[in-house]
Amino acid sequence: MHPVEHFSLFARVLHWLMAVMILAMLFIGIIMVTTVEPAYHRLVDLHRPLGISILLLAVVRLVNRWLIRVPPLPNTLPPILRLAARLSHIVLYALMIGLPLVGWGMLSAGAYPVVMWPGFVLPPILPHDPALFAALRRLHTWLALILFGVVLVHLAAALMHGLLLRDDVLPSMTGGRGNRTADDSAS
């Protein structure tokens, strides 16, 4: 079998780390807003720094993606799916960066302190404006649900590639089947 062109190790580590963080974040978020038990404030305390971490890692990842070659999609993929793959990745990146920014902006507009950990508070990025707070708070929920939807499609597509098409797409991110990396082929 031909060798697989992998994503760079750095890109793969970022991908799987962020996959865990984003799923954790979506579940923390939905539990947080549907409970009034003491878990509420512990989840809120976790949600804010985790969200900012995702924002920072997403920026690193975006720069990394621009700088380092990405394995191409297989030629056998129809153009429509190629376009869907491209668009869904743009949406994923936009939400990985946009969702934490909306969260940060919403807390800023609501005059909430954006506490990372006790004693460390981020500055507001928007002026105090309750109507804006209400609008951004709703936007935050909708964007989170859209992110969850895109993550589900992403997961289903990855499994389709890995289990049904059995092409190079899934192993390029898991690092399976062979050892060639995108870094090697670029050099």
Partner 1 sequence: MMAAIRETLAEKGGWLRLAAVCAAPTLLVLAFALAAGWLVPGRLTAGTFMRTFGLVDGPHPGFRRNHAKGVCVTGWFEGSGEAVSFSRAALFTRSRSPVVGRFALAGGMPFQDDEPEKVRSLALWIMPVHGGEWRMGINDIPVFPVRNAADFNDFLLASRPEPQTHRPDPSRMAAFLARHPETQQALALLKARILTSGFADDTYNSLDSFAFINGEGTITPVRWAMVPEQAARPPAGPGAGRDYLFHDLIEALAHGPLRWHLVVTVGGAGDVTADPTVAWPAGRRQVDAGILTLVRAESEDGGPCKGITYDPLILPEGIAPSDDPIPAARSAVYARSFVLRSGEPKTASAISRADIRPGEP
By CB under 8 A, name the binding residues for partner 1: 23, 26-27, 30-31, 33-41, 44, 76-78, 81, 110-113, 118-119, 121, 128-131, 133-135, 137-138, 148, 151-153, 155-156, 159-160, 163-167
Q: How many residues does the chain have?
A: 187
In 3D, which of 71, 78, 75 has the Cα closest to residue 15?
Answer: 71
Residue 28 CB coordination number (10 Å)? 18
Q: How far is the CB of 100 from partner 1 (least distance, A)?
A: 18
SS3 109: helix
Residue 122 bridge partners (DSSP):
114
Q: How far is the CB of 136 from partner 1 (least distance, A)?
A: 10
For partner 1, which is the closer residue by CB, 66 or 117? 117
For partner 1, which is the closer residue by CB, 67 or 163? 163
For partner 1, which is the closer residue by CB, 63 or 134? 134
For partner 1, which is the closer residue by CB, 68 or 77? 77
Give the max Cα distance, the chain. Answer: 60
Q: How far is the CB of 60 from partner 1 (least distance, A)?
A: 26
In 3D, which of 53, 65, 63 has the Cα closest to residue 18?
Answer: 53
